[in-house]
Amino acid sequence: MPETWATLQRLAIDDAHPAWFAPLDEPLLARARASSPVRRLLARTLAEGPAPLLFGTIAPALPSVVVRQGWWRLPAEALRRIALLLGAIAFAPAIRTRIDRLDVLRLRRVLGMRRYGEALNATRLSQVDAAAIQRQLDAAMRDDETLREALTRRGWSEWTGFASEQHPLLVERLHVCAGPDSGNRDDEGTRWLSSAAIATCLAGIPLEQTAWSDPDDRRDF
């Protein structure tokens, strides 16, 4: 795939969270993404909202720092899985304390065995008091959906903070995909993971498109 500004714009429109285009529903949005004239309108919406740099700037090439962060090329589903993984690692100090059978089953069900194992094996990655992390996990353990949302939101927040140290285009790529209700809202300014920990996690993610083509892929990132 060519490393061009247009490529990043195309991926961002393809992967943009539907909430940015409300009140369009999913079927209407799918048809809109398939129409070149309407895609230009979608791009304008993103330029006025979460991605003013990406869609409000004309540039011949992507900055080299963006090109080196290869994860931006991955499809939305892969980015969401990575956000969940980062959230699991961020919550690792609290996840490791959960020994009740029902809690363990819920964590495994929501995270998948691969991400659950990553959380159990993560060591001293958090920069936040473990009690504070524990309180947030306690609040999220009500049901599967609440837990998934809490972990994913934390993952987007950690990742966005890391991306902000690289380039604003990367922040916009994440924000467009995550949606207006994900990321640095309540979590702003309270990073749990160091940049080194996030970089190490991202370095182990497969960047080939084929690695994410099968929805039943049990590597479970």
As for how many domains the chain has, the answer is 1
In a domain, 89, yes or no: yes
pLDDT of residue 215: 38
Residue 214: other Cβ atoms inside 10 A: 9
Residue segments in the chain with a per-residue pLDDT below the cut of 70: 1-2, 124-127, 183-189, 208-221
Closest CA to 199 of 121, 112, 96, 82: 82
Q: Compute and round to an integer the Cα radius of gyration of the chain.
A: 18
Q: Residue 150 domain-assigned?
A: yes
User: Residue 5 in contact with residue 165, Cβ under 8 Å?
Assistant: no
Instruction: Please tell me the predicted confidence (pLDDT) of residue 217.
Output: 41
The pLDDT value recorded for residue 206 is 83
pLDDT for 190: 81
pTM of the complete model: 0.89
- Asked if residue 212 belongs to a domain, the reply is no
Judge whether 81 lies within some domain.
Answer: yes
* 2-38: burial string, b at 16+ Cβ within 10 Å, e else: eeebeebbebbbebbbeebbeebeeeebeebbeeeee
Say if 34 falls within a structural domain: yes
The pLDDT score that the predictor gives to residue 112 is 95
Let me know if residue 180 belongs to a domain. Answer: yes
**Residue 139 counted as domain residue:** yes
Instruction: Specify the pLDDT at position 124.
Output: 63
What one-character DSSP code corresponds to residue 16? -
What is the reported pLDDT for 204?
Answer: 87
Q: Give pLDDT, residue 174.
A: 97
216: in domain: no
Range of the domain at 138: 5-205
Q: Give pLDDT, residue 205.
A: 86
